[in-house]
Structures are given as C-alpha cells and as structure tokens.
Amino acid sequence: MVASMIIVSWFKDLRGRDPVSVGTLLAFLSSLKEWLVDLLTCSDPALPTKGSVLPYSELSRTYTKMRNEANNLLHLIDSCAAFKDYSSSLNLNTDVLTVDDAINFASKLLLPSESDIPSETENIFLNNIESAKQGLLSTSGYLKCVQNNLHVTVCSLVASAVVWMSCLPSKLNPVILPLMAAIKREQEEVLQDKAADALAELIFSCIGRKPGPNDKLTKNLCTLTCTDASETPQAAIINSMQVIEDQNLLSIGKRFSSHRSRGHTTSGGDERSKMEGFISRRGSELAFKHLCVKFGPSLFENLPKLWDCLTEFLRPVKTEDGIPEDDASIAQLGRSYEDKDPQSLINNIQVVRSISPHLAEPLRPQLLNLLPSILGCVRHPHVAVRLAAARCITSMAKSLTDDVMVLVIENVIPMLSDLSSVCARQGAGILLSLLVQGLAVELVPYAPFLVVPLLKCMSDPDGSVRQTVTHSFAALVPLLPLSRGASLPCGLSERLSSSAEDVQFLEQLLDNTQIDDFKLNIDLNVELRRYQQEGINWLAFLRRFKLHGILCDDMGLGKTLQASAIVASDIAEARARNDEKILTSLIICPSTLVAHWEYEIEKYIDSSILKPLQYVGSSQDRVTLRSQFDKVNVIITSYDIIRKDIDFLGNITWNYCVLDEGHIIKNSRSKITFAVKQLKAQHRLILSGTPIQNNVLELWSLFDFLMPGFLGTEKQFQAAYGKPLLAAKDSKCSAKDAEAGILAMEALHKQVMPFLLRRTKDEVLSDLPEKIIQDRYCDLSLLQLKLYDKFSSSNAKDEISTIVKANELEESAPQPKATRHVFQALQYLLKLCSHPLLVTGENPPNHLVDLLNEIGLGSGSELHELHHSPKLVALQEILQECGIGSEISSPDASTAVGQHRVLIFAQHKAFLDIIEKDLFQSHMRSVTYLRLDGSVDPEKRFEIVKAFNSDPTIDVLLLTTHVGGLGLNLTSADTLVFVEHDWNPMKDLQAMDRAHRLGQRKVVNVHRLIMRGTLEEKVMSLQRFKVSVANAVINAENSSLKTMNTDQLLDLFTSTPASRKASDEQSKRKSGGKGLKSILNGLDELWDQSQYADEYDLNQFLAKLNG
C-alpha cells in the first residue's frame, strides 16, 4: 500500500514537472511494471501474492486465532460421544486452514436435539461445542470481511500505480476491476478518492482506444451514483407526503442516516445496504469530480456517453432570459414526463445532481438547458420524482445561484398559487423548503421575492403545503433585515421586482413602528392612548396580510380594548362593503372573565356594531343559546365549554378567534388545546401577558394554533431550541453548551418577534404609579419547627430520598407515581409553612398528640391561636398598618381607615377559611370583606368583582391565586398580600396586575410573606429563574439568561432556620441527575388548577410521619 502510494505521488509529480523523464524512467522499471501487473491477477484475497500461499502478513495473528479456535472445536468434537462417527470422517488440517474452510466447517456442524442427548454431561459438552462453533464463525467471518477490504484497498492502490506509470496492459480488466471495486466498497474516503483519481486518469488515457472501456465505465458510474437510497428517492417506498414527513426527508445534509418511518425499525441488513449505497455513491461522485477536472470544458465532447446519461429522459431546452425558446411551458414539460417510469426518471435526475457541482464553467450553460425539464418534474404526480427534482435544483443552485434562482422565482413561485394542481403546490413547497435550508444566507437577495408568495400560501387547503411553506417563511423572516437596500439580483426581469405594497409589507413586518396609523371606522367610548393606537395599527396590519399573532402587552394595558376594537372595526368595514355574509367572531377566555368581556365590549363599543352573547350555562342552556347565534356577531365562551362543544363549534367558520389568557393552550397534549386547534377562523389572535410561563417550549403550542408549521414540528422545535436551552439551564454546563443555549435563544427570538407585540407598563405608562414589592420574612413558630423536624426524621422523608436517588440513575423521565409522591411531600411542607392546621387538621392524629403535648398544647382547638402561624401575625400587622381592623381610638387611626384597600391571595381555600375564622372573626371583627375562590360559581364571580370595585366600604377581598389571578380588574385596591406562593411566577405576577394596571391612581404595595430558611424561600428563587428565561425570549434580554441550580432537591425538604443554617449547610446532600431535574420541572404541570380549589388527601401521607 505504502509503496504504491509513493509510486503514484512520484509519477504524478514527474508528469507535471518533467513529462519526458517519465518514459526514460519506465525503461529502467520494466520489471516493476510486470510485477505490479502480476499482483493484479491475484484476485483471491486469501492468496494476494503470485506463487505464494501466504495471506497478508497483517492478518497473521487473526489467522492464528482462527486456527486455534478450529483446533479447539475439533478436540471438543473428538471428546463427545454424540459426534463419534462425524469426527472420524473429518479430514481437516488446521495448520493451513483457510477462512472459507473454517466457515464451511463450522456452518455444517449440526448439533443433535435435546431429546437425543443421553446425559447431563453430554449436554454440557454440547453447550461447549456450540459456544466454540459460534466463536469460530465470528472470528472467521470478521477475518473474511477484513481480508476482503484490505485486498480491495491494496489492489486499487497497485492499479493506481500501474495507471499513473502509463503502463496499461493490453487487457484492462485486471486494472479496471480493482479500481471499480474501490469505487464501490472502499470505506476510507481518502483511499477511495485516490482510486477515483486513477480511474479518471485511466478513462482519459483510453480516449480514442478501440474498443474502449469508457462508455461502459461511464454508465456504471451513473448507476452507482443512484445506489444511495438516502439520497436517491425510491419510488416504491416514498409514495406520499406523509412518508416524506415521517422520514424527515426535507432536511439538508443527512448524507447517511438511518431514517426510520413511524412504527418501523431498521434491520442490520438494511443498515449494511444503506452503508454500501452511501459508499458507492460517494465513490462515483468522487470519480465525476476528477473527470470534470481532468477533461474540463471538453468533458461531454470526449465522453458523449455521459451527456447521453444526463439526457436519457430529460429533454434539453435552450433558454433565453429563463423562458424556453420553443414557448413550451413548465407545466407542459412536466406533463411530458408523466408516462415515464418514475424510478428511471429519478435516477436520471440524480445523475444531474451528482455532476452539477463539479462541471467546468463553460459547460454550465449546457447543463442549465436541463433545468426547465427538472422544474417540470417538480409538479410530477409521483411525490418521489418531485423530491428528487427539488433536491437536484437545490444542488444546482449552490453552484449556479443566480441562474437557478431566476428560473425558480419566475416559474416555481406561480406553482404555489396553482389551485388546479396540488402536486405543483406540494412540489414548489418542497423545493423552496430545501432551497431555504441549502442556500441559507446566499438566499438573502431573493428573500423579498419569496416571503409574500409564501405568506399567501400559509392558508393553503392542503396540509403538507401549509407545513412546508410556513416552515420556509419562518426561516426567511430572520434574513429580511439583511436584504434591506440590496440591489435587484441580476437576471430578474423588472416585472418581478417587488411591488410597492410588498416593500411596505416587508418594512412593516420587520419594524411595527413603520406601520401607519389605522383609522378605526367606529367610535369608541374612550380615548385611546398612543400605545393602544399602535397596538391597533399592528392588529390591522396582521389582518390585512392574513397573519396571526400574540398581543402580549403587560397585564393591565388594555389588551381587551385593543382586540375588541379591531373585531368591531372589521365588522364595520364588512358592512360598508355590503358583504353578503359577515362571519361571527369567537372570544375564548377563562370562565371567570366571560361576563367581564361582555361588560368591556358594552362599555367601549356601541351595541349597533358589536352584539355579544355569553355562551355559557348547562348543556341544555347552551343548546338553547345556539338559536341566537345568527342574531349576534360575537360569541364569548370559556375554554372548558370549547372542549365540551367542539363538535358543534368546530363546524363553524369564524371571523376572529381570540384566545384571552392564551397561554392556557401551552400544553400541546391537553384536551382543551386539542379542541381549540380544531376551530376554523380567518384571523387568529392570542392575548397573553405571559406567553412563556415555565418553559420556552410552551411557545410551540401557541404558534401551532396561530400558524401550524411555523416553528416546525414539536420534535423539530425541541431539537432546535429545547435541547440547547435545557443544556444551558444546567448550572454545571460547559461554556459550549451555554453558548449554544444563548444562540438558540437569539434564533428563537428573531423568528417569533415579528408576530409578537409586547409593551410593558414601564415603557408606555409614565403616569402609572409605582409597584413596590416587599418580601416580609417570618421565622417558623415552635410548633411548625417541631413538625418540620418530625418530617425530616420520618419514613416519608426516607421514601422521598429513595425516589430522588433512584431517579438520579434514570435517563428517562421519572414515573408519574414517583413524581406525584415527591409533590405530595412538597405540598405538605408548603402547607406547614402557612399554618400547622393545614397538615394536622382539627383532630390531630394520635402520633402527633404527643408532639403537641411536648410544647404544652392540650387540644386541637389551641392550634387556632395566632402565634402558631407567624404569617397570620404578619398579615394582621400589615392590615393594621393600612388602617384596617384597628380600633378607632385616636385621630391618626381615624384618618387611616378607608385609605387603603387590600387583596389577599392564597393558594388554598382552607387557608382563606383560617384567615376568616382565626383572624377576622376572632381578632379583627371590624374588617369588611368579600371572598372569591373556586367555590363561587363562575357566572357569579364577576358580580363579586363589581361589588368590591363599586363599594369603598369593603376593606378586603380574599382570593385564591388560581381564580383571582386571571383577567380581573381590581384597581380599587392598592395593597396586595401574598400569604402563599405559586411554583409558576407568572401566576403571581398576573395576580399582582389585577391592581397594578390602567386606571390605578395609587402606588401599589405588594407584600409577600415568606417563611425564612424553608422550602417556600426556595420556591421564590425558582420563580426568579423562570422570569429571567421568559424575559430573554419575549424582550430579547439575552444577556440576562441565568441557570437554575436544581441539584439539591433533597435540600428542599430540609428546614434551615437562621439558628441552624450554618450546620445544615455542611450536611446538605449533593444530588444531580436527569431524574431529579425532570421531577422538579414536572411540578409545574403536576400542580394542576384543580389543586388550588380542592384539598389534597394527605391522610395516607401523614400516617408515614409516624416514624
């Protein structure tokens, strides 16, 4: 091998520098030439040297191993009575055993069945023989494979040496066969390239030789370039768009990968076949590359067979300015190929694809004559032909960008709007998807010509067309800023230059401040603020171009007003046009807000324009309401009713479909999300102050409702953004992972920002009073500390530790039962932080009675005393500071009363019960209050809000975060107290903005009561991390990306009061692993809405605390 490579390099160098000396040198090397040719006649890999029976010396140790194993097997056979007759008939000399002899010997050795085995001892002997047989088969099979591969490499290098020495024998087969074997089978690309180079030199040397091998070699190379099934579509397999989607065939750069369709696995034989096809295609493409270099502009002249192969089915069409001279349209060209065998046509296209990157410049116009025919194949009825044509055009575009893109824009863009042919639209979608991936930034000058046509196809009736064009549109959006001011690409006719409207559209898509003020043709009963007018401008822009988006203004900035205004304006415009049928709009919101939406619409918009109907009530009530649908133009309903009535509502085509608090559909697998995505609407709009709550992956589900396919499939989105962001989230991630996370965040931000409008209160409300958040820390009471310690030494704590440690070792997500058990423990500790009664109950279990006696509590009734819950003491102090509940005994006190009104948020209804009974009714009887939680009927909740807002004598409103945190307007309050906190920070922020919103005239004070050194304090740190991630995507504050340390889950279950914190820090256990992180991350989903309203059955869990 080494000697042959030296000869090749030597003679190639001499030919370049001193061709005359080659002939002189060969005269002295005639014996070497004969010896090399003799080596090529040794076709048996086991006998590589003429006149010798020795194998390759590199394989001598493996031969020795194989022969020893054969010898051992023979001894075992001789020792077994069952093979007595068989062993005597064997005539095997293991000292000279060949690979084929060993395989033949082991393969024919058949063991008797179990019923024929006379004894246990014989059975052991037979097992040993079977083991030895399999070992021999394994070694000999491996040796044969290595020996064959080595022989291919050696012979191809020897043949290369013969070729470059210009000493071709009269019979060329001994030289051609090893070179072609390397083209087909050589695994090392560097060595395969040497064989391809030598084959090109041999073909060059045989020009004019009669008879010559060139035609046959050319045809064989064209055949080999089509053997890779991952690159050459197989018509028998790829027969639908579903197969393309399942096998992810619209991904560039997967030269050799084991695509698996849904429900199928790939066998070892299939993998080998794929690898062989990949190697053969690579070898043939290397040969084409060297032929193109060798022949240059004379390639087709000297190898006419190659041009014949390129035009076997494809008809060359001379082009001028991209228009076929014979006036044959692309559609007519496409139809002329419909009667051809699809696989033969695909193979022809694949040959063009393989050779196009390597052709010399002067030959490229000739190759471009085939492009109209390939473009015609883009609309072929067989999907595999369309895919092959799209891949070929993409490859051609990489080396002939301007020429190809002109033809694509002039001929493929019209296919997108060809409603007479779904095949044409699918093919155009496939081609543009591959071009966007394959050309990347090279496509910048052409992006403006593609965006608007793609946009118009995002509502195509065919799902696969929508999927491909939406994904292409999403990939082009980040390129648009780069195309600003770019000159018109050469070759594009003026008739294709962007219209003024398209230019304006692109500017407005990139920068919503460029959008002209939209004049509402209705009168609102309120004067719009500037940012609200800009919001309506943006909504009108989306409507005009049939785009969809998320209005994610800060809570309290008037999203309801802006959305209502654009819906009303659309109706007024339709009436002005005298449209025959004006579609009804659908507004979906949490049940608490249905009445609020109707109230806001009636408050701001004249009833002659918008006529709302609340679609709520029992099943029978809703059936009755359906008869009124034709008398109104806005239906307001809840998410739960959408889920129940989707069979009816899903059959209606709506004008606007507005999702208020649209983050509710963040879970793509929930029943509500599934139902909402079945709705049909011309305009889709999401309103959400917090589109990302726990995880950026939640954006995928929202955009899947707005523009299905825009962010790819969920799996693609997870791969592109989820995995790098999750890796960067780990506090121990590498610098590379952290950088990948930031890049993924930036890429996601650029892709979604044109369809998000986000304004914060700080940015737009200079007159909005300040919101001051104060964390008030409390220390555990003696009873709480005892109960915390009781848990730490309990069987339950041990079980949790076991679960956590077990999950460290698991690669996959933890079992739901395990996660639920961890959650149960966290729930117990959080309740304990709030009030001991929440975990002991009115009648403490027997195992807690002794603990109560220890601290002097004789009965359960004493647990109602305030000092057992420091949060109640702190709450009383805050209320008194606000002048609420104080006895009026001084002038100062009297003036304080009524100046402040308070919202108190808790997670559990039971804690609100305790606040009512133990604080208000026992210690603060003068407090007037209302209460709003899950027990209040949804239809009556709005009445409570109205009563609180309209009656200033009501001091306090008690709420659960789940019920009171969404969409309500409570600006009459200026003080908020959070006595309990949510894992999800956005739910607490939403609750805060019930008061800190448009209309608030006072400074809003937010008090958060936190138990120091407990799980609750850790919940707050988790909240801070989640807020930073949400801001990074929505506000592009990429520099604020932080990492969350979830390595110490066990530490969550440990109290660390100030008095013992130092010692506890030393005893913290470090734990880390995917199981731990997935348990903690899963808490957001596990903490379901129902658990804010319903009590958790802790009886079984409490029993485990009796250690």
600, 588, 547, 543: which is closest to 569 by C-alpha? 543
- Give the mean pLDDT of 643-666: 93
Q: Is 953 helix (H, G, I), strand (E, B) or coil?
A: coil
Instruction: Verify that 558 and 693 share a domain, yes or no.
Output: yes
User: How many of the other CB atoms lie within 10 Å of CB of 950?
Assistant: 9
Residue 76: pLDDT band with limits 50, 70, 90 = confident
Residue 695 to residue 417: CA distance in whole angstroms: 37
pLDDT tens-digit series, residues 410-461: 889 889 888 888 999 999 999 999 999 888 888 888 888 888 888 778 767 7
Phi, psi of 73 (to 5 degrees): -65, -40
Residue 781 to residue 871: CA distance in whole angstroms: 10
**For 110-114, 136-140, 253-257, 543-547, which range has the lowest pLDDT when averaged over its residues?**
253-257
Answer whether residue 183 is part of any domain.
Answer: no
Angle at 652 between CA 646 and CA 658, to 5 degrees: 75
Answer whether residue 879 is part of any domain.
Answer: yes
**CATH code of the domain in which 1061 resides:** 3.40.50.300
**For 253-262, 305-314, 596-605, 701-710, which range has the lowest pLDDT when averaged over its residues?**
253-262
535, 551, 602, 559: which is closest to 997 by C-alpha? 559
Q: For the residues of 426-478, what is the DSSP string, one character each?
A: HHHHHHHHHHHHHHGGGGGGGHHHHHHHHHHTTT-SSHHHHHHHHHHHHHHGG
- Tokens found for residue 986: 């956005």
User: CB of 448 within 8 A of CB of 502?
Assistant: yes
Q: Note the maximum CA span of the chain.
A: 126
Instruction: Verify that 89 and 153 share a domain, yes or no.
Output: yes
Q: What pLDDT is stored for residue 326 in this prediction?
A: 38
- Give the mean pLDDT of 789-813: 60
User: How many of the other CB atoms lie within 10 Å of CB of 915?
Assistant: 27
Residue 539 to residue 535: CA distance in whole angstroms: 6
1092, 1099, 1052, 1095: which is closest to 1071 by C-alpha? 1052
Among 759, 783, 809, the domain boundary falls at: 759
Region at 692 (left for phi over 0; alpha for psi -120 to 50; beta for the rest): beta
Q: How many CA atoms lie within 13 A of 837 on its CB side?
A: 25
Answer whether residue 1106 is part of any domain.
Answer: no
- Give the mean pLDDT of 912-938: 90
* H runs (alpha helix) in 490-618: 500-510, 530-544, 559-576, 594-604
Counted domains in the chain: 5
User: CB of 912 within 8 A of CB of 920?
Assistant: no
Higher pLDDT, 460 or 331: 331
Higher pLDDT, 765 or 598: 598
**For 76-85, 312-321, 361-370, which range has the lowest pLDDT when averaged over its residues?**
76-85
- DSSP class of 855: T
Answer whether residue 202 is part of any domain.
Answer: no
Residue 691 to residue 111: CA distance in whole angstroms: 68
Residue 685 to residue 62: CA distance in whole angstroms: 70
Asked if pLDDT for residue 1010 goes beyond 70, the answer is yes
Q: What pLDDT is stored for residue 603 in this prediction?
A: 87
Instruction: Verify that 807 and 835 share a domain, yes or no.
Output: yes
User: How many of the other CB atoms lie within 10 Å of CB of 344?
Assistant: 13
Answer whether residue 173 is part of any domain.
Answer: no
Q: What pLDDT is stored for residue 1079 in this prediction?
A: 41
- DSSP class of 667: S
- Give the mean pLDDT of 201-220: 91
Higher pLDDT, 583 or 513: 583
SS3 per residue for 174-219: HHHHHHHHHHHHCCCHHHHHHHHHHHHHHHHHCCCCCCCCHHHHHH
Phi, psi of 547 (to 5 degrees): -95, 170
- DSSP class of 968: -
Phi, psi of 932 (to 5 degrees): -135, 105
Q: What pLDDT is stored for residue 120 in this prediction?
A: 67
Higher pLDDT, 977 or 1023: 977
**For 751-765, 856-870, 1038-1052, which range has the lowest pLDDT when averaged over its residues?**
1038-1052
Q: In the block, which residue shows the tokens 């004789």?
A: 858
Asked if pLDDT for residue 616 goes beyond 50, the answer is yes
- Tokens found for residue 949: 């807002």
Average pLDDT of the chain? 80
Instruction: Verify that 388 and 450 share a domain, yes or no.
Output: no
Instruction: Verify that 799 and 890 share a domain, yes or no.
Output: yes
Residue 169 to residue 41: CA distance in whole angstroms: 12
Percent of the chain with pLDDT over 90: 33
919, 963, 903, 960: which is closest to 937 by C-alpha? 963
Q: For the residues of 748-768, what is the DSSP string, one character each?
A: HHHHHGGGEE---HHHH-TTS
Q: What pLDDT is stored for residue 409 in this prediction?
A: 87
CB burial of 681-715 (b: ≥16 within 10 Å; e: otherwise) equals: bbbbbbbbbbbbbbbbbbbbbbbbbbbbbbbbbee
Answer whether residue 854 is part of any domain.
Answer: yes
User: CB of 439 within 8 A of CB of 398?
Assistant: yes
User: How many of the other CB atoms lie within 10 Å of CB of 980?
Assistant: 25
Q: In the block, which residue shows the tokens 């590359």?
A: 289
Answer whether residue 948 is part of any domain.
Answer: yes
Residue 804: pLDDT band with limits 50, 70, 90 = low
Q: What pLDDT is stored for residue 1057 in this prediction?
A: 43
Higher pLDDT, 888 or 689: 689
Phi, psi of 1026 (to 5 degrees): -65, -35
Q: Cis peptide before 414, with omega less than 30 degrees from 0? A: no
Domain that holds residue 369: 214-255+268-399
User: How many of the other CB atoms lie within 10 Å of CB of 858?
Assistant: 9
Sheet with 975-978, side-by-side order of all strands: 771-778, 1004-1011, 975-978, 902-906, 956-960, 929-932
Q: What pLDDT is stored for residue 859 in this prediction?
A: 61
Answer whether residue 493 is part of any domain.
Answer: no
Among 124, 140, 165, the domain boundary falls at: 165
Residue 779 to residue 789: CA distance in whole angstroms: 15
Would you give the end-to-end CA distance of the chain in angstroms? 75
Residues paired with residue 956 on neighbouring β-strands, in sequence order: 902, 929
Residue 798: pLDDT band with limits 50, 70, 90 = low
Higher pLDDT, 548 or 1100: 548
Instruction: Verify that 311 and 451 share a domain, yes or no.
Output: no
**For 116-120, 244-248, 679-683, 974-978, which range has the lowest pLDDT when averaged over its residues?**
116-120
**For 342-356, 836-850, 969-983, 1015-1029, which range has the lowest pLDDT when averaged over its residues?**
1015-1029
Q: Helix crossing, 214-224 with 189-205: angle to 10°?
A: 150
Instruction: Verify that 826 and 859 share a domain, yes or no.
Output: yes
Alpha carbon distances (Å) from 83 to 76, 109, 456, 857: 9, 10, 79, 87
Alpha carbon distances (Å) from 549 to 185, 471, 510, 552: 53, 16, 14, 9
Instruction: Verify that 787 and 933 share a domain, yes or no.
Output: yes
Residue 914 to residue 968: CA distance in whole angstroms: 25
CB burial of 1073-1102 (b: ≥16 within 10 Å; e: otherwise) equals: bbbbbbbbbbbbebbeeeebeeeeebeebb
Higher pLDDT, 6 or 126: 6
User: CB of 640 within 8 A of CB of 667?
Assistant: no
Instruction: Verify that 854 and 925 share a domain, yes or no.
Output: yes
Residue 64 to residue 139: CA distance in whole angstroms: 11
User: CB of 998 within 8 A of CB of 526?
Assistant: no
Residue 761 to residue 802: CA distance in whole angstroms: 47
Q: What pLDDT is stored for residue 202 in this prediction?
A: 94
CB burial of 87-106 (b: ≥16 within 10 Å; e: otherwise) equals: eeeeebebeebbbebbbebb
- Give the mean pLDDT of 890-916: 74
Instruction: Verify that 775 and 750 share a domain, yes or no.
Output: no
User: How many of the other CB atoms lie within 10 Å of CB of 390?
Assistant: 30
pLDDT tens-digit series, residues 579-608: 888 899 999 998 878 888 998 899 899 988
**For 589-603, 721-735, 737-751, 1024-1038, which range has the lowest pLDDT when averaged over its residues?**
1024-1038
Instruction: Verify that 946 and 1007 share a domain, yes or no.
Output: yes
Instruction: Verify that 356 and 219 share a domain, yes or no.
Output: yes
Amino acid of residue 34: E
Following CA atoms 937, 943, 948, 953 in sequence, which dihedral angle do they give, to the nearest 10 degrees? Answer: -110
Q: For the residues of 981-1021, what is the DSSP string, one character each?
A: --SSHHHHHHHHTTTSSTT--SPEEEEEEEETTSHHHHHHH
Residue 166 to residue 27: CA distance in whole angstroms: 12
Percent of the chain with pLDDT over 70: 79
- Give the mean pLDDT of 721-737: 80
Q: What pLDDT is stored for residue 84 in this prediction?
A: 64
Among 371, 399, 427, the domain boundary falls at: 399
Asked if pLDDT for residue 162 goes beyond 70, the answer is yes
Residue 482 to residue 490: CA distance in whole angstroms: 18
- Tokens found for residue 661: 């608090």
Residue 715 to residue 494: CA distance in whole angstroms: 42
**For 172-176, 824-828, 1028-1032, which range has the lowest pLDDT when averaged over its residues?**
1028-1032
Residue 858 to residue 846: CA distance in whole angstroms: 13
Q: Which of 65-69, 439-443, 780-784 is predicted most confidently?
A: 65-69
**CATH code of the domain in which 580 resides:** 3.40.50.10810
Q: What pLDDT is stored for residue 396 in this prediction?
A: 94
Q: For the residues of 769-788, what is the DSSP string, one character each?
A: PPEEEEEEEEPPPHHHHHHH
